[in-house]
């Protein structure tokens, strides 16, 4: 039975039944393995599924951890390498079950990659590909321009962005870029991946990203500008996608959306050239057209919701990093020196060159330049590469101060903190790729461990993964489908010390350490929403760490 109402009544917080925290997906045999014990004890055991002790040791104090409010002891069982199912026990308490093996991340990698399919808009999901989470066609009616209701457009397709049914170009470009760079850097892990999606013939992740790219192309106007978003005027009630029948609108062009569109189309054009020449050329021409629009409109054209609209805004303060990314990708694709001049000129503005989120995209532009096969300015190349190395070094220092081993300070626990957790892991992965700094791998693994249960709430923040996992995200179809088990592979936003919604402020006391400011409840959009660009960095990190 579908649930057609949304109950905002505060409910008791779900709490973990475990007192010792581990990565609930597991650990590779040759990886550093540490359980986090938030209480003092003299010894610990690792037991197998039959209760037999397979490893014993003494925990080491890591001191007081400010972000969690815990006094932390670490139980290092790296010496246990034999494949199997285990749990850690100490002081009469236990951890969740976990596995050691060469394939421990196969399932989570598949689920986080498949998550985008479940968020497809403009089509139905059939039972063969979607299982019990199938649904009918949605959002297929023509949309109207917000500023001129006499104009109708076909903007069907793409991915629902988050817990709502809106689609946003800048957010989608960020997610697509994470996935495309994951494929570019680690293609082998995607070549044989089977996500059970309808399309065949090219790697599944590229088929999935193509679904978003084809929607992007519909969002470009005749002059090359790109509309900022396609949404209804108000967020839909908590109904299934096909039951959201409110009128769809296309909102005005922004320079951020246009630049991000140009960048991701240029990036994709180079990647799809080997698989679909026609699509590659179409993406190239679209990117070129949008860059021409940017040249004709050098001023910042931002976006704010007009009166009468309350869907996501995705506003930004400027478009400096967006333009840099666009010019860098166009230079990487074409080798045309005019784009080199423009990207160098764009660098005169001050913006972070390792940022990999939707609001600041300088890291994507830096990667485009570093990895391009065209001629490069040696000094600029070294500058951009060393920005990643310096960032990784700083993150290592921060991780060393955290009892849970992650480079997250109190201020980092804000809305969507798990994106920050995963983009920091991306920095470690990129630094390893660029410099062969293999010490970065352990740091990246630590951040993934935290996402998957090695955290002070003992919860896996990915639906469908782990013995104690989030299951009630702020996600309309997951609420309305009447299926108790959540759509798998969705990354929850995570702890938010600001408790930025009424439900969060009701159930989480003021003064709670930021790493513990989380509730697995649909009502809490600031703690438990999902978005495509929180899933995508997790896919990147898993691709980097993936091995058989």
Is the distance from CB of 221 to CB of 208 less than 8 angstroms? no
H or E element at residue 502:
helix 502-507
Is the distance from CB of 71 to CB of 456 less than 8 angstroms? no
Is the distance from CB of 70 to CB of 480 less than 8 angstroms? no
Any bridge partners for residue 469, and if so which? 460
Q: State the DSSP string of 286-344.
A: HHHHHHHHHHH--S-----PPTT--S-----S--HHHHHHHHHHHHHHH--HHHHHHHH
- Would you call 67 exposed, middle or buried from its count of C-beta atoms within 10 A (0-12, 13-18, 19+)? buried
Interacting residues of 180 by C-beta distance below 8 A, sequence separation 6+: 209, 264, 267, 268, 271
3-state secondary structure of 271: helix
């166009």: which residue's tokens? 330
Determine the distance from the C-alpha atom of residue 264 to the mean position of all C-alpha atoms in its chain, rounded to a whole number: 16
Distance of alpha carbon 327 from alpha carbon 393, whole angstroms = 28
Distance of alpha carbon 120 from alpha carbon 212, whole angstroms = 8
Q: Give CA separation, 381 vs 138, 141, 374, in Å.
A: 46, 47, 12
Active centre residues (catalytic)? 164, 474, 520, 529
Q: What is the β-pairing status of strands 248-250 and 143-145? A: parallel
List % helix, strand, coil for the chain (3-state, nearest 5): 40, 15, 45
Distance of alpha carbon 366 from alpha carbon 213, whole angstroms = 22
Distance of alpha carbon 105 from alpha carbon 295, whole angstroms = 45
């Amino acid at each position: 039975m579908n649930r057609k109402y949304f109950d905002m009544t505060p409910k008791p917080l779900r709490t973990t039944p475990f007192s010792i925290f581990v990565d609930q997906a597991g650990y590779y045999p040759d990886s550093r393995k540490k359980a986090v014990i938030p209480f003092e004890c003299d010894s610990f055991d690792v037991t197998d599924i039959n209760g037999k002790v397979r490893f014993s040791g003494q925990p080491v104090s890591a001191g007081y951890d400010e972000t969690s409010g815990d006094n932390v002891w670490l139980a290092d069982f790296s010496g246990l390498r034999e494949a199997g199912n285990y749990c850690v026990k100490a002081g009469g308490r236990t951890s969740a079950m976990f596995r050691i093996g060469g394939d421990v991340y196969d399932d989570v990698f598949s689920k986080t990659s498949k998550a985008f399919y479940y968020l497809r808009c403009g089509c139905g999901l059939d039972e063969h590909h979607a299982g019990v989470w199938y649904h009918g066609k949605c959002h297929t009616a023509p949309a109207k321009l917000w500023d001129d209701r006499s104009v109708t457009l076909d903007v069907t397709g793409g991915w629902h962005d988050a817990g709502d049914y809106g689609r946003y170009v800048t957010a989608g470009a960020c997610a697509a870029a994470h996935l495309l760079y994951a494929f570019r850097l680690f293609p082998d892990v995607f070549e044989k991946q089977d996500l059970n999606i309808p399309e065949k013939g090219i790697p599944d992740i590229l088929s999935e990203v193509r679904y978003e790219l084809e929607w992007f192309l519909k969002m470009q106007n005749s002059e090359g500008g790109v509309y900022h978003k396609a949404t209804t005027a108000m967020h839909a009630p908590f109904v299934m996608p096909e039951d959201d029948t409110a009128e769809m609108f296309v909102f005005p062009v922004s320079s951020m959306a246009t630049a991000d569109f140009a960048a991701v189309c240029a990036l994709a054009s180079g990647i799809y050239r080997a698989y679909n020449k026609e699509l590659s050329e179409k993406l190239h021409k679209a990117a070129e057209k949008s860059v021409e629009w940017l040249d004709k409109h050098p001023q910042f054209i931002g976006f704010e919701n007009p009166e009468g609209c309350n869907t996501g805004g995705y506003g930004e303060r400027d478009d400096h990093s967006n333009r840099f990314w666009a010019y860098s990708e166009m230079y990487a694709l074409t080798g045309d020196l005019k784009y080199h001049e423009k990207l160098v000129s764009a660098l005169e503005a001050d913006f972070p060159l390792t940022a990999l989120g939707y609001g600041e995209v300088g890291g994507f532009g830096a990667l485009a330049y570093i990895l391009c096969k065209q001629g490069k300015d040696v000094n600029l190349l070294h500058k951009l590469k060393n920005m990643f190395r310096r960032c990784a070094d700083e993150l290592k220092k921060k991780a060393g101060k955290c009892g849970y081993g992650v480079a997250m300070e109190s201020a980092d626990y804000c809305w969507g903190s798990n994106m920050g957790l995963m983009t920091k892991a991306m920095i470690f992965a990129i630094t390893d790729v660029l410099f062969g700094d293999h010490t970065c791998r352990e740091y990246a693994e630590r951040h993934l461990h935290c996402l998957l249960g090695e955290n002070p709430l003992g919860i896996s923040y990915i639906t469908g993964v782990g013995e104690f996992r989030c299951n009630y995200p702020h996600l309309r179809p997951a609420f309305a489908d009447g299926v108790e088990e959540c759509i798998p592979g969705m990354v929850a936003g995570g702890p938010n010390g600001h408790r930025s919604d009424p439900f969060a402020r009701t159930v989480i006391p003021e003064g709670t350490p930021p790493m513990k400011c989380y509730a697995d409840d649909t009502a809490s959009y600031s703690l438990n929403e999902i978005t495509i660009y929180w899933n995508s960095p997790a896919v990147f990190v898993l691709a980097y760490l993936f091995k058989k």
